Structure 1
Amino acid sequence: MAGSKRLITIVWFVAALTGLAATLFISVSYGAKDVTLETVWAAVFHYDEQWTTHQVVHDIRLPRVLGAAVTGMAFAIAGAIMQGITRNPMADTGILGVNAGAAFVVALSFAFIPSVSYSTLIVLAFFGAGLTTIFIMLLGSVHSPLRLTIAGAVVAAILQSLSTGIAIYFQLSQDLAFWYAGGVGGIGWEHLRLLAPIVFIVAVWAVMLGRPITFLSLGDDSAVSLGVSLNAVRLQGMTAAVLLAGSAVAVAGSIGFVGLVAPHIARWLVGIDYRKRILMSALLGATLLVWADFASRMVNPPREFAIGAMVALVGVPFFLYIARKERREL
């Protein structure tokens, strides 16, 4: 029995990896100008700046698609961690207001430090996400999923209103529209060089936290009896989630629901073990956001839809389904 479950889990991981690889290829290959597999391969491994198609693939599409994948991983892993340590199935950095905190600090930065560098922006986004997380935890309760969700929604609404006010007063509406709607069109190699190491290092840390988070998700008493330090695991888990959410918002804006959808599907596929669930969430989150970006480009080319709106088409019904399911179980 254990052997068959392990085999099924391996099959799901292979399928997720294959699906992500196919998604990346499709997204890089198709757009305003379609390119062949041979051209994509040559642009990646034998780049020639004299060829226009190589420039399109290497300098525009590839960093954009990889940026969407890495950002999706960040949001998905952060959502999985938050669901585990709060035992809140509706936890997500967007729903709980963490993204709004990071975006609010980004708005302040644009207003008072117009020439802020991307690396500084990431640090400031971390700061905003961290403070918001602490405030929401104090306002709500990690032991009450409903109170935590309501507190997050209220704080998110307030911060979004303040961000809008700052944008209007300082005439930043055009600059901040991207951060409100979310998007990966502006991601370049210089952004990925900062974003990717942060996400991958924190992802490894999150997987290492997977075992105690699994125990914690079963209840405080069970976790303590298994030798888990509740406060230490919660602190480390929240720190990891803030780092992931802050870096993702700094590069792609406030995109919600990825951290809600991906962890739930991951649980259905690989079970409650957070070591497996976090890894599967990363793959699914990357795939979801790459597809959302691809759809945003292909719905009405050459114009683009907001990637956040494309994710919401999946995320909102999913959120309502989870909320209704939780209400039945109360």
Structure 2
Amino acid sequence: MVGDQNYPLSALTSQPIILQLRLPRLFGVILVGILLSISGFLVQLMTKNPIAELSTLGISGGASLGMSILLAFGLSTNAGFSALVASIGAFVALFLVISLTARTHFQPLKVILVGTSVGLFATSLASAVTFAKHDSQSYFLWIVGSFSGMTQTKVILLGFTTLIFIILLILFANSFRILNLGDEMARSLGLSVNQVRTVMMIMVAMVAGATVSSVGVISFVGLIAPHLAKKVVRSNFWQGIVLSALTAIILLICADFVARNMMKPYEFPAGSLTMLMGAPFFIWVMSQEAK
């Protein structure tokens, strides 16, 4: 109803701007919230780190690097191909972080330090590539994170990704729960820890590729939503998943609403708002963990 031009409820089913722009955008916000929150939940489970998410582990930086290569060299940026390239970049970044921190048994501080370093390196490399190709403005639109460019094609891509992601989540839910007991316990129960972690990495990389190629980098949603959910449900896996998704959806709908209406007719990037909320939340979580 609310935007650059407001509409009454009675006009929502007849206005082209609602059906072609605002409704796909709303669906996109919901799907991105589901993907980012559950992937954040999984990486926190995988690394035993309550402050891990796509941004703090360098995964978003890897996906951004993949997008920058497409933009800089004039390759196809259609939804499917760009999501694939961004997913490869995200997987490589996550693989580096996991490989470099496995010997430390994923100590939270070292995971964050390595993840942040990998993410900053990837982002810097992406910035250098796009600057050298005089395409930094296009890259900036992917970095800040915004739902303004949401299209029906991107909604279909996000919906398809969400479907595959949830199917994999259901298939491997028991393995994920066992992994949460610790590596030694999981191995004693006959679980292939490396195989399960690889599945998690593929799932998270797929999410990063689809979301970054569709809306850019939306930071801290994968940190805030799972953390709040775990405060409520503690140890229940599926309740934590569902509550994380609902929390993220509400958070992103509010962020997008403010972004669209705060500076009308101009739009503030929703990703910047999530960073404004996420940064102090991140500091608070760090202070709690240090006690």
Q: Name the aligned partner's letter for residue 96 of structure 2.
A: F
Q: Which residue does the alignment assign to 1:313?
A: 276
| Aligned partner (choices 113, 118, 122) of residue 159 of structure 1 | 122
Is 1:210–1:273's contact at 8 Å kept on the other side of the alignment? no
Q: Which residue does the alignment assign to 2:53?
A: 92
Question: Deviation of residue 279 (structure 1)?
Answer: 2.1
Is 1:270–1:276's contact at 8 Å kept on the other side of the alignment? yes
Does residue 64 (structure 1) correspond to residue 25 (structure 2)? The answer is yes
Q: Name the aligned partner's letter for residue 237 of structure 1.
A: M
Is 2:95–2:201's contact at 8 Å kept on the other side of the alignment? no
Question: Deviation of residue 120 (structure 1)?
Answer: 0.7
Identity %: 30
SS at 1:282 equivalent: helix
Question: Deviation of residue 146 (structure 1)?
Answer: 1.3
Offset from partner CA, 1:175-233 (integer Å, 9 cap, x none): 11111101111111111112211112202322443333233223223333444332222
In our comparison, the structure showing a higher alpha carbon Rg is 1
Report the TM-score, using the length of structure 1 for normalisation: 0.83
How many correspondences in the alignment? 289
Does residue 138 (structure 1) correspond to residue 99 (structure 2)? The answer is yes
Is 2:69–2:129's contact at 8 Å kept on the other side of the alignment? yes
Is 2:221–2:248's contact at 8 Å kept on the other side of the alignment? yes
SS at 2:218 equivalent: coil
| Aligned partner (choices 32, 36, 39) of residue 78 of structure 1 | 39
Question: Deviation of residue 301 (structure 1)?
Answer: 0.9
Whole-angstrom distance in 1 between the partners of 2:225 and 2:61: 20
| Aligned partner (choices 280, 284, 298) of residue 261 of structure 2 | 298
Report the TM-score, using the length of structure 2 for normalisation: 0.94
Whole-angstrom distance in 1 between the partners of 2:286 and 2:172: 27
Is 2:76–2:82's contact at 8 Å kept on the other side of the alignment? no
Is 1:86–1:217's contact at 8 Å kept on the other side of the alignment? no
Does residue 35 (structure 1) correspond to residue 14 (structure 2)? The answer is no
Is 2:157–2:210's contact at 8 Å kept on the other side of the alignment? no
Q: Name the aligned partner's letter for residue 85 of structure 2.
A: L
| Aligned partner (choices 231, 236, 242) of residue 279 of structure 1 | 242
Q: Which residue does the alignment assign to 1:51?
A: none
Whole-angstrom distance in 2 between the partners of 1:309 and 1:216: 34
Question: Deviation of residue 90 (structure 1)?
Answer: 0.8
Does residue 251 (structure 1) correspond to residue 214 (structure 2)? The answer is yes
Does residue 126 (structure 1) correspond to residue 87 (structure 2)? The answer is yes
Tell which deviates more after alignment, 191-200 or 92-101: 191-200
Does residue 184 (structure 1) correspond to residue 156 (structure 2)? The answer is no
Offset from partner CA, 1:74-116 (integer Å, 9 cap, x none): 1111110000111111110111100110011100111113443
Does residue 230 (structure 1) correspond to residue 202 (structure 2)? The answer is no
Tell which deviates more after alignment, 319-328 or 108-117: 108-117
Relative to 1, partners in 2 of residues 1:218 and 1:300: Cα closer, same or farther, differing over 3 Å? Answer: same
Question: Deviation of residue 133 (structure 1)?
Answer: 0.9
Whole-angstrom distance in 1 between the partners of 2:152 and 2:280: 34
> Which stretches in structure 2 are left out of the alignment for 5+ residues?
none
Q: Name the aligned partner's letter for residue 68 of structure 1.
A: V
Q: Which residue does the alignment assign to 1:110?
A: 71
Q: Name the aligned partner's letter for residue 116 of structure 1.
A: T
Question: Deviation of residue 274 (structure 1)?
Answer: 2.1
Whole-angstrom distance in 2 between the partners of 1:63 and 1:248: 15
Q: CA RMSD in A?
A: 1.6
Does residue 195 (structure 1) correspond to residue 167 (structure 2)? The answer is no
SS at 1:222 equivalent: helix
Q: Which residue does the alignment assign to 2:134?
A: 171
Whole-angstrom distance in 2 between the partners of 1:146 and 1:97: 14
Q: Which residue does the alignment assign to 1:7?
A: none
Whole-angstrom distance in 2 between the partners of 1:39 and 1:201: 35
Question: Deviation of residue 302 (structure 1)?
Answer: 1.1
Q: Which residue does the alignment assign to 1:25?
A: none
Offset from partner CA, 1:225-279 (integer Å, 9 cap, x none): 4443322221211211111121111101111101000111111222222222122
Q: Name the aligned partner's letter for residue 90 of structure 2.
A: A
Offset from partner CA, 1:107-138 (integer Å, 9 cap, x none): 01111134432211011011111111111112
Q: Which residue does the alignment assign to 2:227?
A: 264
